[in-house]
Structure 1
Amino acid sequence: MAGRPSLVLLSLASGLSPFGMAVIVPALALFVRDLGTTEAQAALVVSTYLIGLTLAQPLLGTLCDRFGRRPVLLCGFVVFVVASLVCAAATELWVLLLGRLFQALGVSVGTVAARAVVRDTREGMEAAEAMAWISAIMGVAPVFAPMIGGLLGVHFGWQSIFLFSAAVGTLVLGWVALRMPETRPAGAPASLEIAATLRGYAKLLSHRGFLGFTLVFGFCNAAFFAFLATGAAIFERDLGLGPDRFGLIWGALSVAYIVGAALGGFMIRRWGIGRTLRFGVGAAAVLSVTMPLVLLTAGVDAFTLLVPLTALMACNGIIGPQGLAGAVSDQPELAGTAAGLSSSLGLLLCALFAALAGALYSGNALVPIGLISLAMLATLPALGMTGLLRPGREPAQA
């Protein structure tokens, strides 16, 4: 191995994925105006991207295991840059959707490869701490991306958003080309065989630790997406706050996640992974039970809604990165495959909870709040699958 890549580089490679999803959210109304679509059709620009992430990550993880992290990462970012240019040139919705699909197919390699590289170059607590810091830096993307997208869309047109995405992708691509060594373990298989790939999936899916950590990560993010699907409507209907105020609140909640992820990194160093996860999951469980009860008894207002949501987002930041790290920790020979498969399964849970929140919400804020609480409570049995719920247990013992 030529050396360990910078955590900043790995964070930027991972952060391009959430950046690409969030940066176009403020431009949805512009798509309706300029492309003559309905609001529902414009929303496909987001869902198509999410579908692309879900479909691509298991395959890209396998490719990273077969051919190396570096070449797959470089190819993926080239696809992202080209697809961004296609989106910028689109004059019809179907072309834009095709470009968005390929944007996601390309950029999703960043998250997968970064997690595999962390596993290649770090062990145990150091790997978990690295994932916490990567997640904290990644959390900046959904904070600033909508602000950047909104400014570019209003002043220069929605096409400028995709040109900016292509420029950022090119910069990261150049940094990877110059500074990213190959980290795949020596002796790893160098060919792509369907049978071997399926055996790898079967081995992972039959492993309680992999499933447990994947579900911890997945349910944390599912709570986040349940809020994303209905938050703007809740804040407008129940609190009388418009989209601009919601954007500020969204930024504040994202900052809470970043603080939680950074705090998790410090806690791991002091307490270890097992105790940190028990604390985060336990605190989230308490908040998940008390939040609906407070809203039922005191009513929905800015204080009763935002205080527990902020605390839950901080818990999410403590828990989620450790789920990411844990899913790839046990079987280093399948680190890329594990990274892709766990991310894909997590995204499926996100899509499920977002769809449920959108379908069930009809003006009663308690319905999506209940789904958020349910998702966070589900991290308890998920952590139990890893063996870390018992006091004193750490991953090596679990």
Structure 2
Amino acid sequence: MRRIPLSAIALAASLAIAAACAAAQPGNGNEHGGFRLNYIGHQLVPNKTRFNGTTIGGLSSLDYDSASDRYITVSDDRSNINTARFYQLSLDLALFTRSVAPGMEGVVFHSVTTIQQPDGSAFKSGTVDPEGLRFDRARNKIYWSDEGQRGIVRIRNPAVREMNPDGSHSRDFSVPYYYYPRGSRLGIFPGDRGVYSNLAFESLALSIDRNILYTATENGLIQDAPPANIVTGSRSRILSFDIASGASGAEYVYNVDPVAFIPASIVGFATNGLTDFVAIGDRQFITIERAFTLDALLPGSNSTGYTIHLYYADARNATDISGMPTIAGFSVMPVRKTLLLDLSELKNDDGSALAQGNIEGITLGPIFNGKRTVILVADNNFSRSQLTQFIAFEISPE
């Protein structure tokens, strides 16, 4: 009997999800895109956990390789604590729990790899900001995004790069010039252009056929829209690349929601942004919108300050805005999105609310109990008060 490759099974499962999404149209009473995400459980990695001479933390992406049954995740350490790096790990979903205080049983780290510059050296402190990461087994390549930097004395362009599994540099993809930061650090003065500080390429997604790579800005470009606030959202851009040539392709507007909760102080910090997404069909994705409010004014906000929403996002009818340095003043059709899950609604077995970490990574995981899974990862920002967290869901028909 001929064995069907796991990759083919994964592809078939993804297409089945996409078919359910396509069948769900507004007005049919189905608000969740044709499928739902059921909470399996979560696990936490204790802060300051060490592995092979590195501190585990800042995990800002997650990608599952069905052939090896392992995951890879990038740390957004800017080579400040240890050199820029990514990890390979495995997750035993059978050991995940719906508990207030789970352990890290079933979370096993296997290797850590340094991300290299084109000359083969490690990145120096403050010269890199790894955020998104995807593994392309067919080409045996790893794609990763560098958010760049919009600082007072240092400006670096956001980048999407390709490396080999050993961390050595392979090539850069061609990012359009209008994403490059120009002008002041704050991005509020005439002539300022490009990505906002720390609101650039947080994400990566691979198309189902593995021919297109997507990234997205966490919020809009300066010339497109202000950052998300308590009144209005922001107009992020999804940017595609042809993997064969490395050239940029179609771009779409993705409307990010306003900030979820009002800060208690007028100078309080609050943000919301598109932190990662995963393809589940032709220009169809599950997206993460991660909101954070420091010292929220209203009751009901999560104890960690984070509010996480997962959306089904469909770009098939969205306007292609590629080549447009700005969309201000133009009427464009944005990506259509439908709320899949508000993580604040999730409960542990004792009835307590799931503590939401700073969720920045998503992947389609393995088959578990006969159903395809979705796995999230939280970036603890190397802070003792935040979580390195893995959360698992099963995909069920609505």
TM-score (norm 1): 0.22
Higher relative contact order structure (alpha carbons within 8 Å, sequence separation ≥ 6): 1
Question: Which structure has the highest helix share of the two?
Answer: 1
TM-score, normalisation: structure 2: 0.22
- Which structure carries more strand by proportion? 2
